[in-house]
């Protein structure tokens, strides 16, 4: 039995199929962890969602920023839905859209498996959050996503402010929590996120640190698997396993086999150059 954590798929269905074939994935024995951002940009978001949904009994998915964006768009009027890119429209107007969207709403922001000895999040954790605190924060938003408060949440989800503070309430609190879990790359020791900084370490503004290197951060009791940061590339150190290797940009789709001995498995991602040649 093996557990494989898979980086951002972003609608690269064919690459995901190749990866599962390379893994010789056996749903009767193995489990898949998806680091979020199942959809958008890759052109095959509907196929990707259908595949992962079909494996729901054998998979764990955490929500990424693109997944949450799809949920927000799903709550809009039909005319507004038709303004988004064709890839997401195929999801929104599919015959099984309600099933897929309903399933996506039930996915967590953070997954912690103390028996296996790993945690998973899409982007990162705030500097002062232990895993126990992070679990509490995640549950707050997950409850809203799964309740009648969903529409209020996704309507007010977007925005870079306020920075996280335990004193926040209401939609400001939900937005700040979502920003940490799904948009974090760099931040200050106080937890203010540098949203404009998206490049490799060394390119960020002074005073900003990769979230996992912030001085004085709270101890993390388990190693953390994450995605979101394709310009960082594969990073394995400091108890962090960042596995968004840019499949949607022509990079690789990565699976990390979790266990006492970590093993990497990779396949080529979307053929971006070929697409450009054919227009």
Residue percentage of the chain with pLDDT more than 90: 95
Res 199: pLDDT: 97
Domain count for the chain: 1
3-class secondary-structure state, position 48: helix
Mean pLDDT of 81-109: 98
Inform me whether the pLDDT recorded for 277 exceeds 60. Answer: no
Q: Report the pLDDT value the prediction gives residue 273, as an integer from 0 to 100.
A: 58
Check residue 272 and give its pLDDT. Answer: 78
b/e sequence 167-194, b meaning 16+ C-beta within 10 Å = eeeebbbbbbbbbbbbbbbbbbeebbbb
- Tens of pLDDT along 177-191? 999 999 999 999 999
pLDDT value of position 144: 98
Q: Taking the chain, what is the end-to-end CA distance rounded to the nearest angstrom? A: 43
Token readout for 131 is 């895993």
Looking at residue 219, which CATH number applies to its domain?
Answer: 3.60.21.10
Percent of the chain with pLDDT over 70: 97
Alpha-carbon distance 72 to 40, whole Å?
13
Query: What is the spatial distance between Cα 240 and Cα 27, in angstroms, rounded to a whole number?
Result: 27
pLDDT for 1 equals 87
pLDDT beyond 80 at 279: no
Give the largest Cα separation in the chain, rounded.
53
Domain range for residue 221?
3-278
Q: What local confidence, expressed as pLDDT, does residue 209 receive? A: 98
Question: Region 95-115: what's the mean pLDDT?
Answer: 98
What number is the average pLDDT over the span 25-50? 97
> What are the tens digits of pLDDT across the range 220-239?
999 999 999 999 999 999 99
């Amino acid at each position: 039995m093996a557990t494989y954590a898979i980086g951002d798929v972003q609608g690269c269905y064919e690459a995901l199929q190749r990866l599962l074939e390379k893994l010789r994935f056996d749903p009767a024995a193995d489990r898949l962890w998806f680091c979020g951002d199942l959809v958008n940009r890759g052109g095959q978001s509907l196929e990707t969602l259908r595949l992962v949904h079909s494996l729901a009994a054998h998979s764990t998915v955490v929500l990424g920023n693109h997944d949450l964006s799809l949920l927000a768009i799903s709550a809009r009027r039909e005319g507004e839905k038709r303004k988004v890119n064709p890839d997401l429209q195929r999801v929104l107007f599919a015959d099984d859209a309600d099933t897929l969207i309903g399933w996506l709403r039930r996915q967590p922001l953070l997954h912690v498996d103390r028996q296996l000895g790993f945690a998973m999040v899409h982007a990162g954790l705030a500097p002062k959050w232990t895993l126990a605190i992070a679990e509490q924060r995640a549950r707050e938003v997950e409850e809203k996503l799964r309740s009648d408060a969903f529409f209020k949440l996704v309507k007010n989800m977007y925005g870079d402010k306020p920075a996280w503070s335990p004193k926040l309430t209401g939609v400001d609190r939900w937005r700040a929590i979502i920003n940490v879990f799904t948009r974090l790359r760099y931040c200050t020791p106080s937890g203010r996120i540098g949203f404009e900084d998206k490049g490799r370490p060394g390119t960020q503004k002074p005073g900003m640190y990769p979230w996992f290197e912030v001085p004085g951060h709270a101890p993390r009791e388990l190693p953390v698997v994450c995605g979101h940061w394709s310009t960082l590339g594969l990073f394995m150190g400091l108890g962090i396993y960042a596995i968004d290797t840019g499949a949607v940009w022509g990079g690789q789709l990565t699976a990390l086999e979790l266990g006492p001995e970590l093993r990497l498995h990779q396949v080529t991602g979307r053929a971006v150059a070929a697409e450009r040649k054919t227009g």
